[in-house]
Structure 1
């Protein structure tokens, strides 16, 4: 169905400063009282009304821990938790404010879009806005710091999920407060990182805010971008500033756009230069040295910290303790790391920065999707609009290659971004993986390293979709990249990784085929890859798998002695077109068949041997009926447009095969 579009990353949720260690420990101490089943919402929410600040703090900390299990969230929402927690942000006790902010942050981060919208509906923005306005009137650095960090933690998921929250942010003058926090980066990097996360979120797809940006905001971001403080926290801060400046690119003065884009790409390049596989073992060793040299009293706190950060065997998610049992939590909460874990914080900041850098690169290579109206306009199945050669003009318009401006493409190439992104697609070093496996506190980094690799694969897919072969190093470089990706495909650990690697593989093989560069994978390897992928539950993986078969088959059809392999590919595609439950996958398989059997003696022989013509004739009415019955409501306007075009192409391709058959009979 043509070249696939790249995926645009929304601002990811982030890690920053979380709950204080004493509040977390107190929440742990109460876990036995919460019981094995049932939601403790009623009891904890009642404690929020206690005259004792210690009890209120304790209740907020407990709520913060409990709502990390997303199944408990409805119980809290049904008991009006947001209206009861909101006033705690303005409590007379600073510790209550802090733990209440942590509880609201976890509620928004774990609950997803629906919960965020519900929180806004229940007026959580009023106390948030009031707190930040109060902060603006005070000069107490400690108060300023803790308040704004924790409010930013809540604002990010809310603003990302709720347009109403974003509107309140735009109209409440909160931008100035966040920028003031960012400007404190030389003295308080944690505060600045929290502000930078917030800015990175609220400036994405927010034209109302972008219209109000001024030179002070731009200057603050550029000062961060040009700063040179060492350490991974500052590296993360510069990366977030780069992402915010990219979001603002349309609002920049024309004279500064090229310079700013170059500075943004330079920052991303420097971040990707860092070798996490080497740095993580070094940081872990530094932690061990610090512990050996620390006073004996310091060691007494380590067991509690280790227990808090206990991970599961795969290191996929932090666990809570309840009655001595470990329970997996839905989300990653490495921001709960207690003080005393400086090296682990550094490693976490490094991986977060690299993941964010790769996501920004994806977005730089991704044009905005057209509106639904535009798709509707393109989706007409009026055959008078179709070209005479049997290919729909609509398809070429919808799936045309994405374009980069000369400034962006030049900056990406000048800073060797394609090579650096490809390097990040490699599996994490064994040394780093071993270090993380050996220490419970560090196991969560395994998933983060794997996520960086997946984001790099998505970044490679985006780059391949927007640049030409020469810009990427020519035939030799593309073949080496294909060989590398082929080793990754068969080592896919999960669906997210498989989705990323097979998307990159499709883009790369399409480019190789378009340049008539010899393929580096055997047809048997391609069949194994596609057979494994077509059994995956993720639709996009199945779509890309059959597309890869189409690319391979269309290339082989130009060579002599390939009819037997084409038969194997054709049978596989027919099975998918007939049996897959998803219409988009059916359509992609048909489109691949059109490519494979469009021309050539080998393709003609193979088509005859697998009885392609009668098979497609039998499939045609079934495919049309499925579009009519399932299409509207179940598939997007974009998908329907492509399916309509494939339906027409199927009729024309059957006509083509009938002509070929007639000619072979007469000859």
Structure 2
């Protein structure tokens, strides 16, 4: 991490070598199967304690009749002689060695994932946003710092320099990050759950999964499709993320996980849509995710699911037989745009509406049937007033700039929708 932060003062001719060395180390750290190591280290600790106890018992039995007298006790004959035992465990190093080594590995893997995200993010981001990404559990702030204030998006990705791009792909970083997105080894989790001193490792393993999902989002946004394995790999990845999400019936309760996986899905679906790669989420899965997400207390989650609705809807708008799904998507987006307390989320929902209903016969029919024109025309002055009243106090200049742009696009879109409605109802 220190070497990466100092890269700007390293001679340019040496930068490729340094970047390659850094990513080689990160790759080796991520290569290790943390679940198996948790199991092995706990077994080693158990065996060590068992051996120590057996040795202690043997020594105690062998010295059972020997009394060690204290010199001071000899000077006071009336007192009873005191037997002083020396246990073999007193001579052993602390018994938490295996626990500490396991925690060190998990911390290293978390740090590796955070560094990769750092490499993929805009170097113009403020130092405060990326400062001191500790790998302790206190670095939960990473998730908050990784998302722009109230915006729900990762810090702006940059066009990767050739050296970073080459090192990421040559050391198979995308593959290794993908592997870390899986749920922690269930046997390892069970072992930790049954041992109080090891129980904190469960949270650490879950944190690594969330970091991997955030890291995956960055890689999917930045790397070419070919370097991600092509269209089949992206479809398999979409299926994998869907399985991760829907294997937990109560996924909406796990906010950190939901924010991370919705960010990864958002980036993946955007990439697939831009390359005309067919998507694997069923309409039912999409609706389940989005209905849960739009009611989340987390702004980032709400922004992500609204964007996912927009991406999916814009793809469906070009296909036949999608009228009912488009109507459902339109109604959900209208609800968010008009009722969400955050202007950032409302603006994202309006942007999504613009994308979904910008073109296509099915989209035009759907917009008329859900009365999109009249709903937006009624909402327009409310949106303007909210920006005027709440904007300056709650939102950053960048966010206000985006909202002003949405406001202008809303005016144009209402004019367009009016023309669509007149044409289809005349």
- TM-score, length basis structure 2: 0.82
Structure 1 equivalent of residue 185 of structure 2: 429
Contact 1:566 1:603 (8 Å CA) reproduced: yes
Q: What is the Cα deviation at residue 401 of structure 1?
A: 5.7
Structure 1 equivalent of residue 213 of structure 2: 457
Q: What is the CA–CA distance in structure 1 between the aligned matches of 2:269 and 2:17, rounded to whole Å?
A: 34
Structure 2 equivalent of residue 74 of structure 1: none
Contact 2:35 2:184 (8 Å CA) reproduced: yes
Structure 1 equivalent of residue 117 of structure 2: 362
Structure 1 equivalent of residue 168 of structure 2: 412
Structure 2 equivalent of residue 267 of structure 1: 25
Q: What is the Cα deviation at residue 368 of structure 1?
A: 2.9
1:488 equivalenced with 2:249 (yes/no): no
Structure 2 equivalent of residue 253 of structure 1: 11
Q: What is the Cα deviation at residue 434 of structure 1?
A: 1.1
Match of 1:659 among 412, 416, 419: 419
Q: 1:526 to 1:298 in 2, by over 3 A?
A: farther
Contact 1:534 1:541 (8 Å CA) reproduced: yes
Q: What is the CA–CA distance in structure 1 between the aligned matches of 2:179 and 2:116, rounded to whole Å?
A: 14
For structure 2, which runs of at least 5 residues remain unmatched after alignment? Answer: 58-92, 127-154
Match of 2:234 among 454, 460, 478: 478
Structure 2 equivalent of residue 302 of structure 1: none
Q: What is the CA–CA distance in structure 2 between the aligned matches of 1:280 and 1:603, rounded to whole Å?
A: 52
Match runs of 1:477-556 below 5 Å = 477-490=233-246, 491=248, 492=251, 494-556=254-316
Q: What is the CA–CA distance in structure 1 between the aligned matches of 2:124 and 2:167, rounded to whole Å?
A: 24
Q: What is the CA–CA distance in structure 1 between the aligned matches of 2:96 and 2:312, rounded to whole Å?
A: 50
1:561 equivalenced with 2:328 (yes/no): no
- TM-score, length basis structure 1: 0.53
Q: 1:341 to 1:287 in 2, by over 3 A?
A: same
Q: What is the CA–CA distance in structure 2 between the aligned matches of 1:298 and 1:555, rounded to whole Å?
A: 70
Q: What is the CA–CA distance in structure 1 between the aligned matches of 2:56 and 2:255, rounded to whole Å?
A: 42
Q: 1:641 to 1:370 in 2, by over 3 A?
A: farther
Match of 2:333 among 561, 570, 573: 573
Equivalenced residues, count: 360
1:635 equivalenced with 2:390 (yes/no): no
Q: What is the CA–CA distance in structure 2 between the aligned matches of 1:278 and 1:400, rounded to whole Å?
A: 35
Q: What is the CA–CA distance in structure 2 between the aligned matches of 1:471 and 1:655, rounded to whole Å?
A: 42
Match of 1:410, SS?
helix
Q: What is the Cα deviation at residue 502 of structure 1?
A: 0.5
Q: What is the CA–CA distance in structure 1 between the aligned matches of 2:421 and 2:193, rounded to whole Å?
A: 62
Contact 1:523 1:552 (8 Å CA) reproduced: no
Structure 2 equivalent of residue 448 of structure 1: 204
Q: What is the Cα deviation at residue 663 of structure 1?
A: 3.5
Match of 2:197, SS?
helix
Q: What is the CA–CA distance in structure 2 between the aligned matches of 1:580 and 1:624, rounded to whole Å?
A: 15
Structure 2 equivalent of residue 339 of structure 1: 94
CA deviation vs aligned residue, 1:533-562 (integer Å, no higher than 9, x gap): 111111010000110001110010010010
Q: What is the CA–CA distance in structure 2 between the aligned matches of 1:665 and 1:275, rounded to whole Å?
A: 62
CA deviation vs aligned residue, 1:145-192 (integer Å, no higher than 9, x gap): xxxxxxxxxxxxxxxxxxxxxxxxxxxxxxxxxxxxxxxxxxxxxxxx
Contact 2:42 2:98 (8 Å CA) reproduced: yes
Q: What is the CA–CA distance in structure 2 between the aligned matches of 1:664 and 1:435, rounded to whole Å?
A: 64
Q: What is the CA–CA distance in structure 1 between the aligned matches of 2:223 and 2:424, rounded to whole Å?
A: 42
Match of 1:288 among 32, 46, 53: 46
Q: 1:595 to 1:364 in 2, by over 3 A?
A: same
Q: 1:298 to 1:261 in 2, by over 3 A?
A: farther
Match of 1:441, SS?
coil
Q: What is the CA–CA distance in structure 1 between the aligned matches of 2:16 and 2:223, rounded to whole Å?
A: 19
1:645 equivalenced with 2:400 (yes/no): no
Structure 2 equivalent of residue 279 of structure 1: 37
Q: What is the CA–CA distance in structure 2 between the aligned matches of 1:368 and 1:532, rounded to whole Å?
A: 34
Q: What is the Cα deviation at residue 467 of structure 1?
A: 1.3
Match of 1:294, SS?
helix
Q: What is the Cα deviation at residue 277 of structure 1?
A: 1.0
Structure 2 equivalent of residue 352 of structure 1: 107
Q: What is the CA–CA distance in structure 2 between the aligned matches of 1:525 and 1:266, rounded to whole Å?
A: 38
For structure 1, which runs of at least 5 residues remain unmatched after alignment? Answer: 1-242, 300-337, 372-398
Q: What is the Cα deviation at residue 296 of structure 1?
A: 6.2
Q: What is the Cα deviation at residue 402 of structure 1?
A: 2.7
